[in-house]
């Protein structure tokens, strides 16, 4: 019997053959803590009696949700974080470099085959390079900081095959929204999503990141792509035979197989107030909007900003509509300036902010009030996510979002 990608990663880590349902202890390759959770992690770590980190070089602390501070208590998180860094000799700290999930792969902290945990649910993002990554709570994180190990139950795997060529205005965001709509918000609970097919092989690493990022919205434990030459180039490494073998075997045991033809995808949106409430944009066209947000760990990468700029070039944001653009990292911000993308966005009327989580988590500018509607490229549209509980949040791709910004209403990107 063959093995799935997640089974191979855990087998390589533990030295044991595993099957879905097995409970095993894994050796953790890297952990990420963000600014929201660092006070709770630090307190629990010392409450457990630990006096040193299992490996300071494998711990990364990133300030992204609360940067810059928008509430008085935010600065406490920075102070506690800085004290923890100093006390335990941590070197990997980012205070304003971008969003945690972008930086973990961009800065080289995560490699194919790694097992990584983070204090944020969208830690599933790192599956884009073939790593088993998943979000955990602060108690589990404190335990890992002291021991370097974590127990996991080996997940079942849902295989998603996508073949063919995507229509021009369909992006990876449309694919993952369609999949979440088909599976439902709990359809992949504690399962691994494994993506394959020539459509996936032709995707950039950035597009794969968008998909693995949102796997948690269907309840997935992780989402995995086979490492290839694009992965190697992105990670600035040469793949080993073991890393190249991180592919689902044809005779592996899958709990479900889903097949899509790329040509069948259309631009879609997740409608208020659930991510699995997905509809074709053609069914929503005409609804007036107040704001557009392009950014987040889902769609704040260079290709996303360029896709939006392609739509916005030579056009203006509609009157009385705010377009907020937030790059996912300083590196992306710089690249977008160097290739002219930022100039196009600025000339169109975009409000361009510093790299951070920003409006995605309802912080640092751009929140909305009762009755307002926003089209956003981030990963969640829950009640109260971007302001009051009476804000309507529609999730879409950067191309779709940009088209709506110009039209001042929901439209299909043309």
Which tokens in the block code for residue 368?
A: 């909305």
Superfamily per CATH, domain 268-407:
Aconitase, domain 3 (3.30.499.10)
pLDDT tens digits, the chain, 414 residues: what are they?
A: 899 999 999 999 999 999 999 999 999 999 999 999 999 999 999 999 999 999 999 999 999 999 988 888 899 999 999 999 999 999 999 999 999 999 999 999 999 999 999 999 999 999 999 999 999 999 999 999 999 999 999 999 999 999 999 999 999 999 999 999 999 999 999 999 999 999 999 999 999 999 999 999 999 999 999 999 999 999 999 999 999 999 999 999 999 999 999 999 999 999 999 999 999 999 999 999 999 999 999 999 999 999 999 999 999 999 999 999 999 999 999 999 999 999 999 999 999 999 999 999 887 789 999 999 999 999 999 999 999 999 999 999 999 999 999 999 999 998
- Domain(s) labelled CATH 3.30.499.10 in the chain stretch across 7-262, 268-407
Tokens (6 digits) for 214: 């949102």
For 211-273, give the DSSP string: HHHGGGGGT-SEEEE---HHHHHHHTS---HHHHT-S--TT---SEEEEEEGGG---EEEPTT
List the structure tokens of 271.
């409608």
Angle at 331 between CA 326 and CA 336, to 5 degrees: 60
What would the CATH number be for the domain defined by 7-262? 3.30.499.10
- Distant-in-sequence, close-in-space partners of 207: CB < 8 Å, separation ≥ 6: 171, 172, 303
How far apart are alpha carbons 399 and 126 in whole angstroms?
24
Q: Compute the 3-state secondary structure of the chain and give helix, strand, coil in percent, each to the nearest 5.
A: 40, 20, 40
Contact 379, 296 (CB under 8 A): yes
Count of helices and strands (H, E) across the chain: 15, 18
d(Cα 209, Cα 77) in Å, to the nearest integer?
Answer: 28
Do 297 and 120 contact (CB within 8 A), yes or no?
A: no
Separation of CA 319 from chain center: 31
Provide the token pair at 386: 């971007």
């Amino acid at each position: 019997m063959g093995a799935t990608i997640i089974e191979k990663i855990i087998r390589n880590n533990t030295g044991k053959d595993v099957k879905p349902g097995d409970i095993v202890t894994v050796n953790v390759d890297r952990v990420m803590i963000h600014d929201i959770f660092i006070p709770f992690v630090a307190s629990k770590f010392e409450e457990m009696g630990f006096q040193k980190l299992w490996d300071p070089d494998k711990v990364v602390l990133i300030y992204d949700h609360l940067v810059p501070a928008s509430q008085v208590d935010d600065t406490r998180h920075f102070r506690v974080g800085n004290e923890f860094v100093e006390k335990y000799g941590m070197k990997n700290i980012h205070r304003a470099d971008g969003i945690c999930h972008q930086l973990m792969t961009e800065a080289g902290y995560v490699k194919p085959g790694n097992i990584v945990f983070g204090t944020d649910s969208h830690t599933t993002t790192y599956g884009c390079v073939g790593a088993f990554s998943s979000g955990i709570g602060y108690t589990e994180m404190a335990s890992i900081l002291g021991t370097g190990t974590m127990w996991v139950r080996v997940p079942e795997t849902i295989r998603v095959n996508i073949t063919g060529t995507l229509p021009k205005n369909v992006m990876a965001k449309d694919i993952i929204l369609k999949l979440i709509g088909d599976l439902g918000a709990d359809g992949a609970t504690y399962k691994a999503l494994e993506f394959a097919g020539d459509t996936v092989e032709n995707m950039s690493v950035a597009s794969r990141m968008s998909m693995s990022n949102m796997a948690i919205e269907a309840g997935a434990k992780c989402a995995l792509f086979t490492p290839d030459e694009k992965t190697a180039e992105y990670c600035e490494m040469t793949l080993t035979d073991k890393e190249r073998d991180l592919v689902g075997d044809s005779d592996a045991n899958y709990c479900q197989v889903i097949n899509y033809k790329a040509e069948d995808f259309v631009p879609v949106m997740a409608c208020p107030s659930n991510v699995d409430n997905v509809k074709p944009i053609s069914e929503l066209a005409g609804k007036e909007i107040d704001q557009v947000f392009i950014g987040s760990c889902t769609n704040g990468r260079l290709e996303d900003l360029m896709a939006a700029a392609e739509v916005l070039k030579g056009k203006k944001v509609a009157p009385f509509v705010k377009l907020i653009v937030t790059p996912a990292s300083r590196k992306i911000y710089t690249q977008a300036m160097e290739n002219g993308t930022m100039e196009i966005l600025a000339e169109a009327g975009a409000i361009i902010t510093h790299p951070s989580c920003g409006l995605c988590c309802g912080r640092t500018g751009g929140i909305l009030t009762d009755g307002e509607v926003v089209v956003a490229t981030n990963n969640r549209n829950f009640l109260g996510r971007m302001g009051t509980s009476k804000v309507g949040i529609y999730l879409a791709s950067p191309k779709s979002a940009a088209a709506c910004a110009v039209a001042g209403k929901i439209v299909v990107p043309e």
